[in-house]
A and B are shown apart, each in its own frame.
Chain A
Amino acid sequence: MSAPQVAVVRPHPAAPPTLASASPQVTGFRSLDRAAQIALVLALVTGLITHAYHLFQYPLYSTDEGIYVERAWAVIREDRLSPQTYVYDHAPGGWLLIALWEFLLPGNFESFGNPVAGGRILALLLHLASVFFLFQIARKFSGGGLIAPVVATFLFNFSPLAIYYQRMILLDNIMVFWVLLSIYLLIRGRHGLFTGLWSGLAFGVGVITKENAIFFAPTIFYLLIRTTRQDSNRRFALTFWLFASAVPVVGYILLATLKGELLPAQLSLSLTRPPQGHVSLLYELWFQVHRNEGSLFAPGGFLHVLWLPKDPYLLGIGTVAMLACLVIGWRERKQNPALLVAGTLAFEIAFYLGRGSVILDFYVLPLIPTYALCVGLVADRAARRLPASTARVAVPIACALAGALLIAPSGGYVLKHGQQHQLQLADQYYLPLTYLQLDQIAWIRQHIPRTDKIITDDDIWVALHDKQPYPYAQSHWNAVSDPRVRSIFGGGNSQDINYVVLSNGMKHAMILNNSNGQENWILTALNSATEVWHASRGSVTLAIYQVHP
């Protein structure tokens, strides 16, 4: 009887590693080799520096940040999901997390001065966690190499587009964290029995944080199928994933049912004559699905006006890398699904953005890590194809390119040209803006009685309600859409407004939101009001108007 033959097959140095054959050591920091540990620490430190530095000064506290902090405030202070009528515009997972965070802070909303600033610290922590997940995902997908994770996290940390939106406490940032966690749980080491459960739960929480996470579902589930192919507990993993991801969503639907707000009043789904009586989860979903306003690619769309000016490199190279991942990934999907997974993750969110429905500027957020991942993986694949002699010089060249990208003023990654063409730090590290909002709040506290009725925006709502509150300060959005809030102002009477506190671009937003004339009574008040305070910096302008001098 002869001994069994053992064939030793050495992989070709340039052969792309498969997902299954990739280094399994992605379970934690200690299991990384020295070089990977250094790379990960660098990624986390650069993420910390780029996002923490100037965090409280730039960008301006936005309306949406204000809305989510305001709802977190309602969770803690009023045991409700919103200080106004909750209309199911978004599932509450995101601001429940913000509420938990603020609750744990010793000074709650005042811990970092402005209430939104506390939320930004949470956004920073979530970003660092996301950097860790992205690094490990890119490393696993590239077979344990360092090129993909370094490139991906570099773009994720330094892109001006990323920094601008990732600093904000937005639902999309929280959702990205949950989605990356869900993927990370699937690719880390050996599958445990409950891997599917935890990954599914993370994904489900992502969905009830921001509903568009659902676009990632097919790819994450496909990844689960591929990673559990050899597992004896595969059936459990798949079922647990589906079950756990459905649980938060079912909980959300159950909440609406318990409040009697699942179905629309009179069971009407009319978009022209919205049902009256009570809000409805199903109607809101129906309404959102049927919204079709404008195009991302139109000349005045966010792509041209906001995103490309902030980072044309990430968006351009990312799109090419996504296509490359899709093509190469499709060809090699049977051996290694990594590129296909990365490509489809990016494609799903790109499709969501480009399909023509209503989007807001920060909806670009989930695209950033997926594009960064695609670029990292394509860079890794390109490096593997280089001959050994070229590869030796490729690393210094890549570092030089990264350095050039950082210091090139045209990229705006670190430097930019000032108004007089002088070289200065890019806006995200230089331009202070939020002091304008702090000054605005300070002026209100000094000059306006707390019993006055104020129309304002959500960015300063919590600042005006948490300590020494202004109970009659309400955002124009709610004053026109929520009958309960409108009743504070005599049911929509411009004579019942004492002050209009304008945030940046608020008047423009009111005009855009006035298709049915619902903002007319506020605009009328504004037109007859006197400006009593004004501050501006660059294109940002804030003002306060007194309606009855």
Chain B
Amino acid sequence: MGLAAGDMIRDLVYGALVVFSILVTIQSAHTLYLTLYIWAKPTSEAIAPEQFRPPRVSFTVMVPARHEESVIQATIGRVCEANYPQELIQVLVVCSADDKGTIAKVNEKISALRKAGLENVSVVTFEDGPVNKPHGLNVGLRYAVNEVVTIFDAEDDVHLDIFNVVNTVMQDEDVRVVQAGVQLMNFDSTWYSALNVLEYFFWFKSRLHYHARTGAIPLGGNTVFFDRGLVTRIGGWDEHNLTEDADIGLRLSAAGERIRVVYDDRYVTKEETPPTVSAFIRQRTRWSQGFMQTLKKGTWKDLPTRKQRWLAFYTLAFPRGQAVLGIYVVISLLTMFSLKTPEQVALITFLPVLMILAFFLIYVIGLQEFTRAHGLQASPGSVLRLALGWLPYQLMLSYAALRAVARESRGATDWEKTQHVGAHREHDPGALLEASDETAA
């Protein structure tokens, strides 16, 4: 009797291992497909137009900033250097009134620009709460006057032709929302930066296209362009959501809005990876928690088709899955040395390992594609760091997801800000205008 019960428990454990391994493998294969989605499509679907239309669309650039004294002036300078008529660009730097340092730097820059004849930059402050990005965006939206509003983060290195790209796409394709490419650049800074860079690379270059085509897209936090009337009509950004970008993307999708993704290596907005592990974990915790909030909010249920709902649910629920996967990895490592299973069971539990290997190879190719596209050089050391950092990076992601689960369960929803140091800037954007500052001084 005892033996039979023991056999049954053992069979149940084996069965669970097999089922879980197969599910994880299927999920990994699906993610792999999404990761490479755009390579299966004609190049023309993804890249920017080769010829630009004459400037017609006017833009309001909103730059929410908090404690960004070190980078804000360069960002403003870069936008003001854009190859687009400045009379068609309004720049609003949005700060909390208590952020005196950033406001002072912005005002300093505005003075310098005015002396250079540019009057289109202003600072918008707010004193009410919450002090977070979506609130800043909603405040900025009230002061926006142009047809299209867009968001750049304070550390963004914006391409000078980005407005030409969006101006052309919006006219040619009659779309009201465009998500352009964002790319982390400093792949050689830390042990994890190449992995982080490639996450962005595959997400913006490939996976977002699938989301856009399916009609369930969690948008990025910057270099996203909205028709101002449209974003006003849907009520702006959710100020209580840590990933207001994903939330607004799904709300627009639910409203049936067609969203165009343009990732062209030439025109990406360049950003940096978080400088430290703790900064990275804080950032990733915020994103995971934001996805959990968006999932709980249930906007995804308003999407019209089952496929859209499923994709949105799958994407938003992924951080929870990632938390479970982290635990699974630890258990796998333990059982590898302690649990003796039949060969067939062991072979099936090996399938997720094959998927990890497949992902690693894809990332190695991705690193080559990324560096080639940006005129960089990946050394063998970069690949080695990729290999050695793979498992710790996955565990770091899982830890952030677990941390997000813990924060969400105890109701901690404060904004853990990401520190920016400008590691992605090989040059000093806005140097021309900085020079005029000095001249003025």
Task: Give the interface of A toward B (CB within 8 A).
Answer: 192-194, 232-233, 235-236, 239, 243, 247, 250-251, 254-255, 258-259
Contacts and interface: CB of A to CB of B under 8 A. Distances in A.
A236 B362 CA distance: 7
Interface in B362-395: 362, 364-365, 368-369
Given A232-B39, A236-B362, A236-B365, A254 B357 contact: no
A255 B343 contact: yes
Given A193-B39, A232-B39, A232-B43, A239 B346 contact: no
Contacts of B36: 193, 233, 236
Contact of B343 (A232, A239, A247, A258): A258
B350 interface: yes
A228 B39 CA distance: 13
Contacts of B347: 251, 254-255, 258
A72 B137 CA distance: 67
Nearest to A252: B347
30 contacts: A192-B40, A193-B36, A193-B39, A194-B40, A232-B39, A233-B36, A233-B39, A233-B40, A235-B365, A235-B369, A236-B36, A236-B39, A236-B362, A239-B361, A239-B365, A243-B357, A243-B358, A243-B361, A247-B354, A250-B354, A251-B347, A251-B350, A254-B346, A254-B347, A254-B350, A255-B347, A258-B343, A258-B346, A258-B347, A259-B343
Interface in B334-359: 343, 346-347, 350, 354, 357-358
Nearest to B361: A239
Contacts of A192: 40
Centre residue among B365, B368, B369 by max chain A CB count within 10 A: B365
A239 B36 CA distance: 13
A185 B364 CA distance: 25
A232 B358 CA distance: 19
B156 to A, nearest CB: 28
Contacts of B357: 243
Interface string B314-348: 00000000000000000000000000000100110
A247 B361 CA distance: 13
A481 to B, nearest CB: 23
A536 B34 CA distance: 64
A74 to B, nearest CB: 14
Contacts of A250: 354
Given A236-B36, A236-B39, A236-B362, 8 more contacts: A194-B40, A239-B365, A243-B361, A247-B354, A251-B350, A255-B343, A255-B347, A258-B346
A193 B346 contact: no
Contacts of B358: 243
Contacts of B346: 254, 258
B345 to A, nearest CB: 10
Contacts of B369: 235
Contacts of B365: 235-236, 239
A351 B357 CA distance: 34
A157 B48 CA distance: 53
Contacts of B364: 239
A258 B336 CA distance: 11
Contacts of A235: 365, 368-369
Interface of B: 36, 39-40, 43, 343, 346-347, 350, 354, 357-358, 361-362, 364-365, 368-369
A103 to B, nearest CB: 15
Closest 9 CB pairs of A and B: A193-B40, A233-B39, A258-B343, A235-B365, A193-B39, A258-B346, A239-B361, A193-B36, A243-B361
Centre residue among A243, A251, A255, A258 by max chain B CB count within 10 A: A258
A193 B35 CA distance: 12
Nearest to B36: A193
Nearest to A194: B40
A45 to B, nearest CB: 36
Contacts of A255: 343, 347
A220 B375 CA distance: 33
Centre residue among A235, A239, A250, A255 by max chain B CB count within 10 A: A235
Nearest to A256: B343
A258 B346 CA distance: 8
A250 B365 CA distance: 22
A82 B2 CA distance: 32
Nearest to A197: B358
A243 B364 CA distance: 13
A481 B200 CA distance: 59
A192 B37 CA distance: 11
B356 to A, nearest CB: 12
Contacts of A254: 346-347, 350
A343 B429 CA distance: 59
A386 to B, nearest CB: 41
B17 to A, nearest CB: 14
A200 to B, nearest CB: 12
B358 to A, nearest CB: 6
B387 to A, nearest CB: 15
Contacts of B368: 235
Contacts of B43: 232
A235 to B, nearest CB: 5
B15 to A, nearest CB: 16
Nearest to B368: A235
A78 to B, nearest CB: 13
B9 to A, nearest CB: 21
A306 to B, nearest CB: 39
Contacts of B350: 251, 254
B408 to A, nearest CB: 37
B101 to A, nearest CB: 46
A489 B361 CA distance: 53
Contacts of A193: 36, 39-40
B186 to A, nearest CB: 23
Contacts of A259: 343
Contacts of B343: 255, 258-259
A260 to B, nearest CB: 10
A233 B46 CA distance: 14
B216 to A, nearest CB: 22
B40 to A, nearest CB: 4
A235 B364 CA distance: 10
A194 to B, nearest CB: 7
A251 B357 CA distance: 13
Contacts of A247: 354
A79 to B, nearest CB: 8
A233 B362 CA distance: 11
B362 to A, nearest CB: 7
Contacts of A243: 357-358, 361
A362 to B, nearest CB: 30
A254 B353 CA distance: 12
A239 B361 CA distance: 7
B370 to A, nearest CB: 12
Nearest to A190: B42
Nearest to B369: A235
A111 to B, nearest CB: 26
B363 to A, nearest CB: 11
A114 to B, nearest CB: 30
A258 to B, nearest CB: 5
Nearest to A239: B361
A175 B125 CA distance: 72
A239 B43 CA distance: 20
B301 to A, nearest CB: 32
A251 B358 CA distance: 15
A251 B343 CA distance: 11
A67 to B, nearest CB: 21
A259 B369 CA distance: 41
Nearest to B43: A232
A375 B350 CA distance: 44
A193 B354 CA distance: 19
A63 to B, nearest CB: 28
A222 to B, nearest CB: 20
A493 to B, nearest CB: 34
A233 B211 CA distance: 21
Nearest to B372: A235
